[in-house]
Amino acid sequence: MAFPNLKVVGIMVVGCVVFTASLGLTQEIPSPPTPPQPMYKSEKIVVAMRAEFSDYKSLVPLMQKFEKETGIRIEHIDYPAVALRDNLITVLATGAPTYDVVLMDIVFIPEFAAAGFIIPLDGSKDPFIAYTKDDLADYFPGCIDAVTYKGHLYAKDYSSDIGMLYYRKDLLSDAGLGGPPTTWDELISYAKKLTKDFNGDGVTDQWGYAFTAKEYEGCLCIFNELVAQAGGSLIDKQGNVTVNEPPAVKALQFMVDLRNKYKVVPPGVVNYTEKDIHTGFINGKFAMARNWPYMWGMCEAPDSPIRGKVGMSKLPRLKQGGSTMGGWFFGIAAGSKRKRAAWELIKYLTSRESSVYMCYKSADIPYRRSFFEDPRVKRDLSWVLPFKDGMKDAVPRPSIPEWGTIKKPLWTEIAKALIGQKTPKQALNDVAEEWKRILSK
Ligand code: GLC
């Protein structure tokens, strides 16, 4: 079981970046760009996507613009993010021509490609449906790795993600703390100082830190990067299961300790998704939080109560830096009867121009070199610039078709450890046993 993505992103170094960033979101939001007239049209295109994320705010106007300019009707079917994979599989497995375009999390790509749910986008299936040379050179290598399965390109990126530490500059300074914490030990000591019961009623009003630990993909992103920071992996480059080795046990112990020993994250993190993180952070319930770049846009929005008070930095390290590589991609369903028109839409939604629009509108960032060179980005959206360097710590989750199956026992066992039902070692030994059974089939 190779681990092709581990070479990761050809995007380099930032040392200890702290970006308190210029406020990028006060500028007038440009209109969606005008798409070129497509060579191939269809009466309509059906897109399966997720609803409740930042990018939805950009994708919908882009699709409306495409519709208006091309006369192709777009029907989008929206799923909650946590239900997207299972719903897509249910439909795609039938091979019926229900969806034309599918939105995929980075981790769906090998699974869907191996199952034959999506088609290659490199001209090998249809010469019209092919990345241009220009695009191939523009996307960062880690992104091209992420969309490649058995030598073919299966998806096209519009939004990249790496985990970041958000912190309230004002609260840190009031507590006599300097810059953001850069190590696990500092994170603990900062979070202890920032966890507060203001009126002495025994109820914590402000938590030092928060992360997503509900039983879903977001929890695994946290665990994956902590394991990398501790110097380990979930599955190594040779395909060996390493999820119960000392670095992984240390990572899970750290999650457990933050909640149960130091009590610096809310006990409710076991039910948290990104929405709970951004809601709590913006409402002042958390002094620090781990989230994706999109939250910057919310923190700095004109009506945000914490605007101008937020800093964003790389995640604290243990043995080394580490940040889970996420992102969202479009593919074409194998059952689609309108593949060429679908490709025309994907090209528009993932174009350089659309990416710049998306960043103005919803603070989403593409894995494109040219984006970071764009004069509009340098002028108005300079808060994104350090990401180009910050991505050097990006660590993919295991890029294997079985990820969709093996992730479930992992999040179940993490939950058991978090609520104290099992020790981290026991929980991860159980995961390893289950993974070996599944992967040996
Ligand atoms: C973000 C990432 C995605 C990850 C998800 C977890 O959307 O881009 O890769 O799986 O968060 O919630």
What percentage of the chain carries pLDDT values higher than 70? 94
Amino acid, res. 335: G
pLDDT at 25: 53
Please list, in sequence order, all residues whose beta carbon lies within 8 angstroms of the beta carbon of residue 326, skipping any fewer than 6 positions away: 105, 106, 160, 161, 162, 163, 221, 292
Count each helix (H run) and each strand (E run) in the chain, helices first: 18, 12
Nearest CA to ligand 1 atom 10: 217
Q: Which atom of ligand 1 is nearest to the CA of 82?
A: 12
Cα angle value 247/408/231 (rounded, 5°) = 15
Local structure of 329: helix, strand or coil: strand
pLDDT in tens, 201-256: 999 999 999 999 999 999 999 999 999 999 999 999 999 999 999 999 999 999 99
Identify which of 56, 85, 105 to mutate to test ligand 1's pocket (most ligand atoms within 8 A of the CB).
Answer: 105
pLDDT in tens, 155-194: 999 999 999 999 999 999 999 998 999 999 999 999 999 9
Fold designation for 164-323+398-439 = D-Maltodextrin-Binding Protein; domain 2 (3.40.190)
Instruction: Tell whether the model's pLDDT for residue 23 goes beyond 50.
Output: no
Which residues does 330 contact at the CB level (< 8 Å), separation at least 6? Answer: 101, 102, 103, 104, 155, 156, 158, 346, 349, 350
Q: At 129, which amino acid appears?
A: I
User: Relative to the CA of 274, which ligand 1 atom is closest?
Assistant: 12
Check: CB of residue 142 under 8 Å from CB of residue 326.
no
Pocket around ligand 1 at a 6 A CB cut-off: 105-107, 161, 217-218, 221, 274, 292, 326-328
Choosing from 221, 277, 397, 403 the residue with most ligand 1 atoms within 8 A of its CB, the one to mutate for a pocket test is: 221
For residues 146 and 136, what is the distance between their CA atoms, to the nearest angstrom?
13
Instruction: Please give the DSSP secondary-structure letter assigned to residue 335.
Output: T
Nearest of 292, 159, 273, 175 to residue 216 by alpha carbon: 273
pLDDT, position 1: 34
Residues 6 or more apart from 177 whose CB is under 8 A from it?
190, 193, 194
Measuring from atom 2 of ligand 1, which residue has the nearest CA? 326
pLDDT at 143 over 60: yes
Taking CA atoms, 291 is separated from 161, 209, 424, in Å, by: 9, 11, 23
- With bands split at pLDDT 50, 70 and 90, how would you rate the model's confidence at 393? confident
DSSP 113-150: HHTT-B--SBSSS-TTSB--HHHHHHB-HHHHHHHEET
Q: What is the pLDDT of residue 26?
A: 58
**Among 3.90.1150.10, 1.10.510.10, 1.10.460.10, 3.40.190.10, what is the CATH number of 6-162+325-395?**
3.40.190.10
* Exposure letters 164-191 (e unless 16+ CB within 10 A, then b): bbbbbbebbeeeebeebbbebebbbebb
101-105 and 164-168 strand pairing: unpaired
Same topology, domains 6-162+325-395 and 164-323+398-439? Answer is yes
Q: Tell me the domain boundaries of the chain.
A: 6-162+325-395, 164-323+398-439
